């Protein structure tokens, strides 16, 4: 499910960036959280969107931290 993070929550296990208050996140059934809809700045000063968990699910169908679940 998609949610907004209410407080800082450490590091995203996919991109290794900090999960910060106000970030849009995806919460998996195992309760692990990852970035959803993050905005990044490119070298050409243009913005693009990426979702850590959506990109992960393109090649993996399980939680990065609980692959056997």
What is this structure's pTM?
0.72
What CA–CA distance (Å, rounded) separates 7 from 67? 26
Q: Name the DSSP letter for residue 33.
A: E
pLDDT in the model for residue 69: 64
Domain boundaries, the chain: 4-59
What confidence tens digit (pLDDT) does each residue in 10-53 have?
Answer: 998 888 888 999 888 988 999 999 988 655 555 555 554 567 88
Could you give the CA distance from residue 25 to residue 31 in angstroms, rounded to a whole number? 11
Please give the residue that has the higher pLDDT: either 5 or 67.
5
pLDDT band at 6 (very low <50, low <70, confident <90, very high): very high
Rounded-to-integer distance, Cα 19 and Cα 52, Å: 11
- Calculated CA dihedral for residues 2, 11, 6, 24, nearest 10 degrees: -30
């Amino acid at each position: 499910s998609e949610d907004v993070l209410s407080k800082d929550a450490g590091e995203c296990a996919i991109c290794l960036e900090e999960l910060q208050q106000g970030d849009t996140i995806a919460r998996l059934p195992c309760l692990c959280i990852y970035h959803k809809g993050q905005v990044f700045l490119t070298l050409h000063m243009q913005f693009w969107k990426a979702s850590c968990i959506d990109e992960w699910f393109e090649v993996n169908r399980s939680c990065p931290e609980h692959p056997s679940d």
